[in-house]
């Protein structure tokens, strides 16, 4: 595979192992740019990238902005509230307006599942899903996959445990879709109320006990408990959650080997993850962040049309 044929990045659903590995390979070569003393290349000079965030975000937006700026793209950031009911038509009008300003890529976060897909059906500009409700968060999925591949070399025979609120997590969904496409085994683990009934249709196994999970996995992806959302209703209490599903060193002793520790951030220290584990030697939480910039640079490059142009130039030469 020498090129990436997709026009948008809406989700990892339906993405082949070849496609995923292609973009991870590209991310590795872009990652090197951020390690240089001068972290800047002219690749996307003259391209316009808009961050259209209908939900608050600090890290993901900063990561996309840095990725775009290190590629010399122009960026404009728009933060809107989705608290007022936003009709689909209005959202589309907003996006069409940005397109009429000759924007090349719209990076979008929205509380409504499928919102970026709707835009993609109507726009010529490329759309990147930066999180759509509880549906998908494909760049997070890709950066998690890259972090796992960095460590284990391949996904053959690998088993990844995902721990926490599976039902409401777009991170969990994108990870499951990517990992199963790449041939890894996935086991989800969490309170019964936070695991969708038909999750096995996604090709994963289910357990509600960390004790059962730990001996079977190579890596743990521990989800953030969204204190502001379900904290009070879907499980008895935070203390209870932490006691049963929180990951600390004592819990990890039940594994046969040292597990790779991942978390999409920000960590609720002492709730889903003990500080000793978050900062421990098997934690790759900050590597995930570093890989996030790299994955986003690779995607911005391949969705901007510049890769295409460069190929055409080479073919003509």
Report in angstroms how near the CB of residue 227 gets to its own copies at its nearest: 11
Residue 224 binds its own copies, judged by CB under 8 A: no
Report in angstroms how near the CB of residue 123 gets to its own copies at its nearest: 11
8 A C-beta contact, residue 63 and residue 296: yes
Task: Please choose, from the candidates 180, 207, 182, the residue with its C-alpha nearest in 3D space to the C-alpha of residue 192.
Answer: 207
Cβ contacts of residue 187 below 8 Å, gap of 6+? Answer: 159, 160, 161, 162, 204, 205, 206, 207, 213, 216, 217
**Could you tell me which stretch among 56-64, 159-167, 169-177, 231-239 binds its own copies (CB under 8 A)?**
56-64
Q: Is the peptide bond before 266 cis (omega within 30 degrees of 0)?
A: yes
CA distances from 167 to 136, 174, 205, 206, 213 (A): 12, 12, 14, 12, 18
Site map 77..96 versus its own copies, x via CB under 8 A: -x-x------x-xx--xx-x
**Could you tell me which stretch among 47-55, 129-137, 211-219, 234-242 binds its own copies (CB under 8 A)?**
47-55
Entry field: residues in the chain = 317
Report in angstroms how near the CB of residue 293 gets to its own copies at its nearest: 5
Report in angstroms how near the CB of residue 106 gets to its own copies at its nearest: 11
Report in angstroms how near the CB of residue 39 gets to its own copies at its nearest: 5
Residue 69 binds its own copies, judged by CB under 8 A: yes
Q: Give the C-alpha separation, 196 to 50, whole Å.
A: 34
Residue 39 binds its own copies, judged by CB under 8 A: yes
**Could you tell me which stretch among 43-51, 170-178, 203-211, 250-258 binds its own copies (CB under 8 A)?**
43-51
**Could you tell me which stretch among 155-163, 181-189, 196-204, 284-292 binds its own copies (CB under 8 A)?**
284-292
Q: To 10 degrees, the CA torsion angle through 115, 119, 121, 127?
A: -100
DSSP per position, 195-213: S-TTGGGGT-EEES-HHHH
Report in angstroms how near the CB of residue 16 gets to its own copies at its nearest: 29
Two tokens, residue 270: 């002492």
With CB under 8 A as the contact rule, the residue among 76, 154, 236, 239 that binds its own copies is 76
Residue 151 binds its own copies, judged by CB under 8 A: no
**Could you tell me which stretch among 31-39, 113-121, 124-132, 174-182 binds its own copies (CB under 8 A)?**
31-39
**Could you tell me which stretch among 55-63, 133-141, 151-159, 201-209 binds its own copies (CB under 8 A)?**
55-63
Q: Give the C-alpha separation, 81 to 201, whole Å.
A: 34
E runs forming strands in the chain: 48-53, 74-79, 105-110, 126-132, 159-163, 185-189, 205-207, 219-222, 260-262
Residue 46 binds its own copies, judged by CB under 8 A: yes
Beta-carbon-side half-sphere exposure of residue 63 (alpha carbons within 13 Å): 25
Cβ contacts of residue 35 below 8 Å, gap of 6+? Answer: none
Binding site for its own copies (CB under 8 A): 34-40, 45-48, 50, 58-59, 62-63, 65-66, 69-70, 74, 76, 78, 80, 87, 89-90, 93-94, 96-103, 265-267, 269, 275, 286-287, 289-290, 292-293, 305, 309
């Amino acid at each position: 595979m020498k090129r990436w044929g997709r026009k948008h990045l809406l989700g990892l659903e339906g993405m082949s192992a070849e496609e995923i590995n292609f973009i991870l390979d590209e991310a590795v070569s872009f990652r090197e740019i951020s390690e240089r003393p001068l972290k800047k290349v002219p690749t996307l000079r003259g391209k316009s990238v808009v961050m259209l965030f209908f939900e608050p975000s600090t890290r993901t937006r900063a990561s996309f902005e840095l990725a775009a700026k290190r590629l010399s793209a122009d960026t404009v950031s728009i933060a809107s509230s989705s608290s007022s009911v936003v009709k689909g038509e209005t959202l589309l009008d907003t996006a069409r307006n940005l397109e009429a300003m000759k924007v090349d890529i719209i990076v979008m976060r929205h509380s409504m599942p499928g919102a970026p897909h709707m835009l993609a059906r109507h726009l010529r500009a490329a759309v990147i899903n930066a999180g759509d409700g509880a549906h998908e968060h494909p760049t997070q999925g890709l950066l998690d996959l890259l972090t796992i591949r960095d460590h284990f070399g391949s996904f053959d025979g690998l088993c990844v445990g995902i721990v926490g609120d599976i039902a409401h997590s777009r991170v969990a969904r994108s990870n499951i879709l990517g990992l199963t496409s790449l041939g890894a085994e996935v086991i989800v683990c969490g309170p019964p109320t936070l695991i969708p009934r038909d999750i096995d249709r996604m090709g994963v196994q289910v357990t509600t006990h960390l004790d059962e999970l730990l001996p079977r996995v190579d890596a743990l992806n521990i989800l953030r408990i969204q204190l502001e959302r379900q904290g009070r209703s879907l499980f008895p209490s935070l203390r209870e959650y932490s006691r049963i599903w929180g990951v600390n060193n004592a819990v990890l002793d039940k594994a046969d080997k040292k597990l790779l520790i991942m978390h999409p951030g920000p960590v609720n220290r002492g709730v889903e993850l003990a500080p000793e584990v978050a900062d421990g030697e098997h934690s790759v939480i900050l590597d995930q962040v570093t890989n996030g910039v790299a994955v986003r640079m690779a995607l911005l490059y391949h969705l901007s049309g510049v890769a295409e142009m460069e190929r055409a130039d080479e073919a003509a030469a």
